[in-house]
Structure 1
């Protein structure tokens, strides 16, 4: 197996399915709010049988062993291939799949690049599959329900004018114990967002626990379980500002048991900071032995992280001593993998050595005595346009100088719902992906089509008059809270997106379960797209590109790890997604099965 094959990673946490079907509105003493129109729940049809044509690859190892089991009877062998679960009961198949010749191809250098020129033919295949005229039809205009009656909310807060400094959401990701919480905590301390008295309190508490080096992590790890175990569980959140930008820091958990929580944090992020431990054996355990470095980087890209800063932490450790050879070794192993995840390494990835505990290369440069080789590499020079590989040698300088792609405030509003709670009305949380929103605006909640008004608007808990793309917002409105669910999308009523139960997509298969090592029609798993998590079933495989020969095959019966495929996916209830080419924020997704990320993909066309 290739050392840099994303399929080498193994994960074991089993996330439960998120149920977001709108509940019935709670009864009140006053006039009850109208019940929102229920979401259509179509019955998922059994996928059509594969074509009967004999399009077998005679050199395929699986075909050879199946034909041998069938005693040379081709018809019987073809029939056996149509029942992967029964086929996997034969020890010869297991032995063949464990052989060096099985599935040893890496995924494409960039899974997003494979989509060039593929949307049109795949759409034709998907529509031809069941020539249903309504598939390509324009959806009917959404009916505007009456705004729900509720007690008028008294607005006491005074809204502030918008802060014109650019806002960035930063998520800290990486393997457990790489130093994510320590780094994010020290950034807050060094930028004067945590006072000295608080730090002294945390130092005393950490010393009492015999964990003196954990005191900076306590800034972000606030609950007792996290401090006792030294492991982040929930996504920590904090805000800071510099002269150049406003930041929201999201500290994601690194343990494999909390990957769903990490997904929640990464779905909000613009920039990812991948924290790597340079300490002897710690990088290897996170990257090459089933750690979370691989999965976190892959998920970050598919969840919309535009830029990645890889900080090689613990460079001051006695096993490293700021050795350039160790830094170069780590960078050389990460670059090919990050490219396979879809990152354009030269333009979108930056590498730098740091010490999160001592603060070296965070706000101030590391001393030349400790690290004589880093400073000369980053003398000020004019850099090419549209690149994140600036000459900034310190983390905060790099973030301040990072130019995000144009965010269009005039585009149709899209706010994937992250959470909701009750506080004098329903309060809806989310990040503005595109468009803008103002207090008093009329908004629609999709896929239910419920319309309401923005009674109050907040960014980072501060009341404002208007919010722009990239802002984390809270909206207070007069909706029944049970009608709002994570994964819904807020929009303007006049530019509502389509909600679908079926779409075509492109997938890169990066890993599969040992017990389900063939990806076939009918395969069911969990879909993670923007803030939505729901069960999904494979409708039909449309094309497959062999990882070795790059030859495309139409209507394959199954696919293996390393293969790039196009297929249709079906969900039981309508969700809001968009073609990746039109709205990348709503078009990237990950498929997970029993705690393992098995595929990364992009939406090609909305079908029904």
Structure 2
């Protein structure tokens, strides 16, 4: 079975946590003690029904306010596919949390309250999903039971969203009318929407095609750790552990180690359960080479005729995640794949209004949760691809060297 990572997004009270709770409940993916705990918590809050949102809203502040604050990850599986869910917050002040949850997602579910229609946060999250190049987006028109299952309401919201999405880069858009609280069109098709000819959300999640979304052409294997066992039986073992970012690696393939430029042949690929003949993203494996080449953490294995060019100048779209504003001239740590470097902020080209897509070229700083385009200069040449070609090797995070806090996340547009 393959793995689908998806994130939920939307405005406050649009039903993100309830939807995930319904998915987990109707797919029989929660334990009895979990359900009993949620039922008890629901009774304590005085609700007349079991509040399935409590399955993901685990923080005390979340349950008190009825909102999502942190990114909650949940895992479940059906007979057809495994899933990792990232339940992201709806508040504008938690935009950075939404960026975190969507950065690795194959699919984003953007919920819209059928009573309220498209909100600023709906547009904001659609823009972020586009910037992060999430290949599949589902527009979930929720709470349809509160508008009498009106087809006209659904069509109006769908039309407004598609007109806005036309300005973005969203390759695959699917719209589903539903009621997360009652379960209509979540796992099973609903009899309340005879005018809707599509599938349920669960059916779409199980069958959406994601294999072609991964880059299988450009081999990139950032080395995370060099394995050298010390016991006598495996004294000759020397492997390079890491996660395949893109491409397909096979035993017998010729690879180049960067930045040294030395080439060798793959002698063996070791997985968690034993030897493998090949490895593809996002598998974590250990690679052994025929020749003794000096390779360390931060190096990248790739093809001799297809490799990233070292660069020190980055043009990137950045989400700023710190309360102290980002200004030109600031020096920060930069983590790209498994390599650390120091970076200087040379210029802020513009700040992006993610609600209107308006660019403000007069911006002199980026505040908390702001998104803008910046130019960076790094002290050590990095082996970076454009984010459009490779979501793994085209992304980075910025770190405050004094406090070791993650203060920014960026994707490379040009280098």
- For the criterion TM > 0.5, the same-fold answer is yes
Q: Report the 3-state secondary structure (helix = DSSP H, G, I; strand = E; otherwise coil) of the residue aligned with 1:207.
A: helix
CA contact (8 A) 1:304 1:588 kept: no
- Aligned 1:134-213 pairs, distance under 5 A: 165-211=1-47
What's the counterpart of residue 305 of structure 1?
134
Residue 435, structure 1, aligned to residue 243, structure 2: no
Partner of 2:125: 296
* Distance in 1, Cα, partners of 2:74 & 2:389: 32
Max radius of gyration: which structure? 1
CA distance in 1, matches of 2:98, 2:379: 25
Corresponding residue of 1:336: 163
Q: Deviations over 1:462-517 (max 9, x none)?
A: x6766955547599xxxxxxx98xxx797569887455331357x7x9xxxxxx9x
1:269 counterpart SS class = coil
Return the offset for 1:185: 1.8
Q: Distance in 1 between matches of 2:106 and 2:299?
A: 18
Query: Which residue does 1:501 correspond to in 2?
Result: 312
8 Å contact 1:273–1:310 — kept in the other structure? yes
Deviation at 1:240, TM superposition (A): 2.2
2:207 matches 1:397 = no
Give the 3-state SS of the residue equivalent to 2:184 in structure 1. Answer: coil
Kindly state the Cα deviation for residue 352 of structure 1 after the two structures are TM-superposed: 0.7
Structure 1 residue 212: Cα displacement = 5.1
Q: 1:299 to 1:334 in 2, by over 3 A?
A: same
Q: 1:266/1:230 Cα in 2 relative to 1: closer, same or farther (>3 Å)?
A: same
Aligned in 2, Cα 1:394/1:524: closer, same or farther, shift over 3 Å? farther
- Alignment-derived partner of residue 224 in structure 1: 60
1:364 equivalent in structure 2: 188
2:174 is matched with 350
**Is 2:7–2:109's contact at 8 Å kept on the other side of the alignment?**
yes
Find the aligned partners of 1:456 and 1:215 in 2 and give their Cα distance: 45
Structure 1 residues 433 and 537: alpha-carbon distance in aligned structure 2, compared to 1, 3 A threshold: same
What are the ranges of 5 or more consecutive residues in structure 2 without an aligned counterpart? 225-240, 262-267, 287-295, 319-324, 350-359, 364-372, 399-409
| Equivalent residue in structure 1 for 2:144, among 315, 335, 341 | 315
Task: Name the stretch that deviates more: 321-330 or 230-239.
Answer: 230-239
SS at match of 1:435: coil
> With CA pairs under 8 Å and 6+ residues apart, which has the higher RCO, 1 or 2?
1
**Separation of aligned partners in 2, 1:489 and 1:183:** 42
Q: Which residue of 2 aligns with 1:245?
A: 81
How far apart are the structure 1 equivalents of 2:55 and 2:154? 28
Aligned length: 344
Deviations 1:327-360 (A, max 9, x none): 112112111222212124xxx1000101111111
- SS of the equivalent of 1:239 reads strand
Aligned to 1:577: 384
The correspondence of residues 444-455 of structure 1 with structure 2, limited to 5 A, is none
Q: Cα–Cα, structure 1 residues 468 and 211, in superposed 2: closer, same or farther, change >3 Å? A: farther
What secondary structure sits across from 2:145 in the alignment? coil
Extract unaligned runs of 5+ from structure 1. Answer: 1-164, 379-391, 418-428, 476-482, 510-515, 542-557, 562-566, 592-599
Describe the superposition over 1:224-273 as per-residue Cα deviations: whole angstroms up to 9, x where unpaired: 33333322222222222233322221211222222222211111111111
3-state SS, counterpart of residue 29 of structure 2: coil
The TM-score, its normalising length taken from structure 2, stands at: 0.65
Partner of 1:537: 345
Calculate the TM-score normalised by the size of structure 1.
Answer: 0.47
Shift of 1:311: 0.6
User: How many angstroms apart in 2 are the aligned matches of 1:209 and 1:234?
Assistant: 21
8 A Cα contact 1:587 1:602, kept in partner = yes
CA distance, structure 2, for counterparts of residue 526 and residue 324 of structure 1: 52
C-alpha deviation, 1:538, in angstroms: 5.0
1:315: how far off?
A: 1.0
Determine the structure 2 residue equivalent to 1:94. none
CA gap 1:408/1:522 in 2 versus in 1, 3 angstroms: closer
Q: Is the CA contact (8 Å cut-off) linking 1:169 and 1:271 kept in structure 2?
A: yes
Output the aligned Cα RMSD.
4.8
Residue pair 1:437, 1:468 contacting (<8 A) in 2 also: yes
Does 2:413 match 1:603? yes
Cα distance in structure 2, aligned partners of 1:415 and 1:372:
50
